[in-house]
Chain A
Amino acid sequence: MRSSSFLYFLTLMLFKQKSKHIGSIVISIVLISLISSLFFLSSSIKSSLKDTIKEQPDFVVSKSTIDKVMDSEYIDKIASIRGVESINARVYGRYYFNNKGKSALIVGIDPFEESNAKYLRVLFNDIDIEKFLSKDYMIVSSSVDNYLKSHFFKDSYTFKLPSGDFKRVGIYRVLPTKTNLIANDMIILPIDIAREILGIDDDGVTSISFDVANDAEWSNVKSLLYGSFIDINVVDKKEIISYYDEMFAYKQGLFLLLYIISLVTFMMILYQRYSSVYSVEKRDIGILRALGWSIKDILRLKLSESFIVAMSSFIIGVVIAYIYVFIFDAPLLKYIFFGMDNLSVEIELKPYIDIGMLVSLWLIYTIPFISAIIIPSWRVATTSAKEAMK
């Protein structure tokens, strides 16, 4: 089989001059793995959040006044709007543990209500709702469970009620880790127990959720609600999705800016190095020219060399980022997105790769990298061989 002499020489130059490339490869890998990790992390969280939001009710109504409690009148009025279905009243509020200001989100639901029962069955295939209601039980997130265990509450926790009394509630189940993204500090309780813990009167609710099957009616429903009540806040699913989009676009934009600044600095160093400092490179190009290599041959060699260096750095950087984010769950870096102020976050990051984002990173990196090498090489190649060899 005929093997290409050009390929032979290209491989030879790459391996024989590896010390020349090693610095640029190492810096490139660090930059690419860092920025790819951040983008993998944010894309994965964004994608998981969007998937989770899809399962949530279309609208959530809460009160905008200091008094957050709504009575049954609100439910009745909402139910009377045409197109509204699957109405579900919930109670939620924050419960502060005594230690170190840590808190949990108390969510009180009616487990027999159709959508709640369905959601619980999605989380736990084998859940026995009647057993869950038979005693004072709660379902806690893994972070809450870990926190309670670390404070010696193994099977139950004793809540301090606003009345000054205490209420012991057993841990019925622990939520799967995959729900931590939205339920990291959550405690799910039957609605009556939640009211007791949060000090809410019987029949009082803090949010009402519902669906509207016809998308085109969403704005009408919203207008009707704002027309009927002056003290409510209505949030629909599309608003939440666009909020997340904006939040992640903002964070990704900042990272991209940092990446570009680092890249520009790196490329300037590289350009400087190839332009003036690297005289051996200049001499070698002069020798090749003197021995009959055309400018096109030289540029082909340099282009292939820099492309291979760029491509291998990029692939290694992306693979490292993938392993770091999706196998090791991005230790340290994930706190950029979640913070560390409340209960520790235990997130299982679902592998999600945004191809468009990877292509953009590749282009942003490769074009200046190759240019930083090719332009000085081209300048040397176009001078006379005699001059270049000096």
Chain B
Amino acid sequence: MEMKEILFYAIAAFTLFSAGIVAFAKKIIYSAFALLFTFLGFAGLYVYLGADFLAVTQIIIYVGGILVLILFGVLMTQKIYDTKAIIAHNSLWFSVGGGLFVALIITALLVKNVWLAGVPKAFAPTTEAIGKAILSHYLIPFEIVSFLLLGALIGAVYLARAEDKEK
């Protein structure tokens, strides 16, 4: 077993464990931080898959952007003065059932399918390739996504604005 392999399994386990904590933690702040580690773990896995640009993008956007937003959300919606125990979760079995349904489907897919062997590729930097692809094959999605972001920006600002006039 090479070092790489051991490290791979460690990162995988770490990611999965963090995801588990996100799922099962009773306090929401624990879930948020666990989510942070999950994102980091994913980034590591991306590296193993030769997606160098994506790994970095993951960290910058997910951790730096999305997670911060989520933390904001968590912290701003907490009742600090509320001391009584809030039941944080729905029925466990209910949820396990739902999860199992999904697991069942995916397992069936994974098992029943014959996955293609694939082309062995060398590790090459991907940034240039992604840039080329976005501006040639994926131009329209790129443009649309930019519109989407604009809309999301405006929408988010609008939705979250302070209501000073009404007060």
> A and B bound?
no
Spell out A's residues near B (CB within 8 Å). Answer: none
